[in-house]
Structure 1
Amino acid sequence: MERVRIRRVHDPVDPDDGYRVLVDRLWPRGVKKSTLALHAWEKSIAPSADLRRWFAHDPCRWRAFCRRYQAELDAAPEAFGRLLGYARHGCLTLLTATRDVEHSHAVVLRDLLAAERAEEERPGERASPVCFAPDEPGADPD
């Protein structure tokens, strides 16, 4: 895997984007399907509607969101496997319409892909993204 980057759907296309995959469940508002340069739309990789409503992009719930989202991904690994396959062929750009990109499922996906890359480079040592580390004292529990 070369690298995984995150871009908003409204950002201009960069020649270094590589394989561009939309990772939102819903098509972005105000974007015509004919104008969004992408190679795939993996809507099944997005968090469930219930999880998105619960999270509501509240940074205080970020770590719990990461754990819950990873549990959803673990329960249905097919879509993540496809993303991993895309990433193995070079640069992968995860596209999202989310305004707060740093507290989005795209960050979780990027970090999980990076952890998988680390695992492939060091078999037997399981890497874990930072957002899955134990909660800090006083953090919002699940």
Structure 2
Amino acid sequence: MALRLKRVYDDPAPGDGFRVLVDRLWPRGLTKYRAAVDLWAKDVAPSTQLRRAFHQDGLPWEEFADAYRAELTAAPALQPLRAELAKHPHATLLYGAHDPERNHAAILLAVLDE
């Protein structure tokens, strides 16, 4: 299985394969048709408390990354996501954040690749 990341606001492409939105909140201003999401895996997104600590309270990136990895370790939704992704030769994890490097989807991708 080949996994990649893509911003959900970018246009869908045939090479995306199975498209999985990994944000807890639906992206603002985006219709379900335009997003072309095959699965919304909101239960593997950071908790509301952790998301707010990072975006609103200024939690440093390294602390956010460590806390999110800890959440993923305990997340019951991670294994079903792995199983679903294994059914598809190509899959794209979709996220809404502006930063392509410092976002939770990059951490999730690394965990799924382990």
TM-score of the aligned structures, taking structure 2 as reference length: 0.88
Name the structure with the higher strand share.
2
Residues 3-42 of structure 1 correspond to what in structure 2 (within 5 A)? 3-42=2-41
Aligned length: 113
* Counterpart in the other structure of 1:64: 63
Distance 1:109 1:58, change over 3 A: farther
1:76 aligns to 2:47 (yes or no): no
Where structure 1 has 5 or more consecutive residues not aligned to the other structure, the ranges are: 116-142
Q: Which has the higher contact order (CA 8 A, sep 6+)?
A: 2
How big is the alpha-carbon RMSD for the aligned residues of Structure 1 and Structure 2?
Answer: 2.0
CA contact (8 A) 1:57 1:104 kept: no
CA contact (8 A) 1:23 1:96 kept: yes
CA contact (8 A) 1:22 1:95 kept: yes
Where structure 2 has 5 or more consecutive residues not aligned to the other structure, the ranges are: none
Q: Percent identity?
A: 45
Within 2, Cα distance between the matches of 1:64 and 1:10? Answer: 27
